[in-house]
Amino acid sequence: MATVPTAIHVEVLPARLGDCLLVECPRPDGTTWRMLVDGGPPDTWPLLEARLRRLDPADRHIDVAVITHIDNDHIGGMLPFLASDLAADVGDFWFNGRPHLPVTAPDRPRSVDQGESLVAALNGSAEDPLAGGPAARTSRPLPWNAAFGGGPVDTGAAGGFVEVAVPGGPTVTVLSPTTKRLARLADTWSKSLRAALGARDREVGVDVLGPLDDLRHLADARTPQDSSVPNGSSIALLVEHRGASVVLGADAHGGVLAAALLGVARARGGEDLRVDAFKLPHHGSEANVVAALLRAAPARHYLVSTNGDVFHHPDDAAVARVVLDAPAGPTLWFNYRTPRTERWADPRLVASHGHHVAFPDPGHADAGAVIDLPARR
Ligand SMILES: [Zn+2]
C-alpha cells in the first residue's frame, strides 16, 4: 500500500501550562514551510532550543514565528529565542505590538516603522528606553508583520478573516483578533506587558477531579466567557495545505473564533468549516471552548496544550463539549498525560461515547503531541 504523504505536521510541545507549537508543511520541491507558534513559559526554552537545533541544518528555516499575545505562558520562551542566533532564520514575525493597536487618532497608520525593534517592543525596552540595555537597542531589526505590510495582524470586524497565500506552501487565514479586541489591548498595553514579563506562577490548591458520569450535564453547564483582554487579542490561524487543515486557536475568545470560522465557511458556500485538526483555544478552558465554536468548525482531531499547572486545564466542561458535540469518533490529543487528562481514556467512557484519546509516546514524552495530517491532493 502506498503511503499517503503528510500535508501538515503539528507538534504540540510540552510547554507546561502554555503553548509552543511547531507546524510544518512539506513542499513538493523537498523543502519545508515551517511555522513556530509561541514559546511557552520561560522554562520551555531549553526544550524548544533543543528541538530547533535538531532540524536539518540544510532546511531549518522558520518561515513564520507567531507571538500570539502577551501572556507569560506564550512569550516566556520567545524572548530567549529572539535573543538567540535561531531568530535570524525566521522569515517573518507575526506579532501585534503597541504600534499596531488602534488609537483614538484615526489617521495614524497602524504600522511599524522600518527598523523598529520587535525585541524592544516585546521585552519592554521600547516602553522604557533604559530598561533593555544596549543590546536591545543595537540588535539588528527582525522582519515584523511583513506579510501584512508592517501593519496589524487583525481581521477587521467580527466575522472577518484575512488570507495569506504562501507560494508553493500553505494558505494561512487569520481568524483573530478583531480590530475591536486590539483596541481593548491599547488601553491596558503597558500593564499587560508588565504582567506578562513579570509573571510568576500563582500558587493554587490541589486539583480536585470530579466525576465524568454525566457529560451532558457538564457540557451544558453555563460557564463564564473569557474576558481576558490579552487573550482576546490572540492571533488565531487556519493553516491549509494540500487539502489538509488545522485551526490554531491560541487563547482566542470562543465567540470571535466561531464568527471568523463561519465567515470563512460562508465565503466558501458552506454552513460550517470542516477541518482535520483543531488546537483548542486557551488550553481547553470552558470559558473559550464553547458549543458555537465546535459547531462552526467540526474536526476529527482536537489538540489540547497544557499539563494542568496553575489553572487545572483542560476543564471537564470543555472536553465534554468536544466529546458530545464533535462529529462521531473524534480523537483528543493531550500533550501531557496527567490524572486530569487520563480520565478521558477510561475504557467505559470511550466505549459509551466513541471518542479516542492519544497521549505522548511514553518513550518520547519530550516530543509532546505529534500529529501528521495526510494530503488529500
Ligand atoms: Zn495561554
Look at the block and give the residue holding cell 505562558: 73
C-alpha 101 – ligand 1 centre gap (Å): 20
Q: What is the band of 128 on the pLDDT scale with cuts at 50, 70, 90?
A: low
Q: How far apart are CA 212 and CA 353, in angstroms?
A: 12
Q: What is the model's pTM?
A: 0.95
Tell me if 369 is assigned to some domain.
Answer: yes
Q: pLDDT band at 138, cuts 50/70/90?
A: very low
Residue of 311 and 40 predicted with greater confidence: 40
Task: Give the cell for residue 199.
Answer: 509573571
pLDDT tens-place string over residues 201-230: 677 778 889 999 999 999 999 999 999 999
The CA 179 to ligand 1 mean position distance, Å, reads: 20
- 107 CA distance to ligand 1 centroid (A)? 33
Q: Please give the distance, rounded to the nearest whole angstrom, from the Cα atom of residue 230 to the centre of ligand 1.
A: 10
Evaluate whether residue 154 is within a structural domain. Answer: yes
Confidence of residue 4 (pLDDT cuts 50, 70, 90): confident
- pLDDT tens digits along 325-349: 888 789 999 999 999 999 999 999 9
Specify the residue for cell string 511514553. Answer: 362
Structural Rg of the chain based on CA atoms? 20
According to DSSP, residue 160 is labeled -
Task: Give the chain's domain count.
Answer: 1
- Decide if 204 is inside a domain: no
Query: 157-176: per-residue pLDDT in tens?
Result: 999 999 999 988 999 999 99
- Residue 90 Cα to ligand 1 middle (Å): 23
Predicted confidence band of residue 133 (pLDDT cuts 50, 70, 90): very low
For ligand 1, the distance from its centroid to the CA atom of residue 71, given in whole angstroms, is 7
Q: How far does residue 199's CA lie from ligand 1's centre (Å)? A: 12
CATH code at position 298: 3.60.15.10
Residue 252 lies in a domain: yes
Domain range holding 230? 6-198+211-374
Q: What's the gap in Å between 284 CA and the centre of ligand 1?
A: 10
Span of 30-39, 149-158, 324-333 with lowest mean pLDDT: 324-333
Residue 163 inside a domain? The answer is yes
Residue 206 located in a structural domain? no
| Residue 28 CA to ligand 1 centre (angstroms) | 34
Tell me, yes or no, whether 1 lies in a domain. no
Cell of 224: 463564564
Q: Is the pLDDT of residue 264 over 90?
A: yes
Task: Provide the pLDDT for residue 136.
Answer: 46
The whole-angstrom separation of Cα 277 and Cα 274 is: 9
**How far, in Å, is the centroid of ligand 1 from the Cα of 249?**
10
Q: Is residue 135 part of a domain?
A: yes
